[in-house]
Amino acid sequence: MIIAPSLLAANFSRLAREVTRVNGSGADWLHLDIMDGHFVPNISFGPAVVRTIRPLTKLFFDVHLMCSKPEILLEPFAQAGANQISVHVELGDGVTPLLWKIKSLGRKAGLAVNPPTGISMIQPYLKQIDFLLIMTVNPGFGGQSFIYETLPKIQQAEAWRREEGLSYHIGVDGGIDFKTAAECAHAGADVFISGTTLFSRSNFAAAVGKLRKIVVCAHVKSAGARVSTATRRARTLHLQLL
């Protein structure tokens, strides 16, 4: 279970202190939202900011490119210190070369999918990705409400991963609080990106710890449920064979 605070919700007037706060909190990744004002109706920050904060922490830098022309940004972000770079499946035909390029730069490759886009769009790329980023809000802004219609996508992504013996992470991004995180964990997610919920707490480490406890619990319960369903199915099959 990976907890990834989203820097978008930080106080940018004291960015270094905010990064240090995440660093000491027990979080696993730092999620970095890059918006170009074209793919999404907002602008955030670029490689220069990522390069500036890189020396402050050893956290895994998870760069989420919400950009129409990610091809011009892959090298700059890789050089700035990204460990993983995700592009959006909505870009269409150019996705495979982008994933190859990310890999050739020695970085993990992620693919993001917006709420209105069908999960079937992701299926052709499953073997090429390290990370599947399921957007649980329409990208562009922090602090939005979780879209419940995205839950079946998590279940489908988890079923494909299990059935095909793949090992990509399944992340959820947008409106993740203590309640929605549990629901996503139950559906099969294992990376929890959270901005507003974590950064609004004065005790950041306690919030990360609470989120982790909740998702681990939900995961254990749902894994148990999956095992008992499989056992039930096997028993039925066994009885049918007798």
Taking the complex as a whole, the smallest distance from the CB of residue 165 to Zn ion amounts, in Å, to 28
Q: Are strands 191-194 and 169-173 parallel, antiparallel or unpaired?
A: parallel
CB under 5 to 8 A by kind: which of Zn ion, ligand DX5, none does 143 bind? ligand DX5
CB-based closest residue to ligand DX5: 195
CB under 5 to 8 A by kind: which of ligand DX5, Zn ion, none does 68 bind? none
Half-sphere exposure of 83 (CA within 13 A, CB side): 13
Whether residue 33 lies in the annotated active site: yes
Distances from the Cα of 102 to the Cαs of 58, 67, 71, 106, in angstroms?
20, 15, 9, 7
Q: Does 64 bind Zn ion (CB under 5 A)?
A: yes
Q: Which is nearer to ligand DX5, 64 or 219 (CB)?
A: 64
Catalytic one of 36, 62, 93, 173: 173
Q: Are 109 and 128 in contact (CB under 8 A)?
A: yes
Any residues with CB less than 8 A from the CB of 22 and at least 6 apart, and which? 5, 7, 30, 57, 59, 204
Q: Are 3 and 192 in contact (CB under 8 A)?
A: yes
Q: Which is nearer to ligand DX5, 206 or 234 (CB)?
A: 206
Site track 11-50 with Zn ion (rule: CB under 5 A), x = hit: ----------------------x-----------------
Whether residue 93 lies in the annotated active site: no
Binding Zn ion (rule: CB under 5 A), the pick from 10, 173, 197, 211 is 173
**213 token code pair:** 């406890």
| AA identity, residue 172 | V
Q: Which is nearer to ligand DX5, 147 or 205 (CB)?
A: 147
Which residue ranges make up the site for ligand DX5 (CB under 6 A)?
6, 8-9, 31, 33, 64, 137, 139-140, 142-144, 173-176, 193-197
Catalytic one of 33, 36, 62, 190: 33
Half-sphere exposure of 71 (CA within 13 A, CB side): 9
Helix, strand, or coil (residue 62): strand
Residue with tokens 């090298």: 75
Q: Which is nearer to Zn ion, 7 or 202 (CB)?
A: 7
Binding interface with Zn ion (CB under 5 A): 33, 64, 173
Q: Which residues form the catalytic set?
A: 33, 173
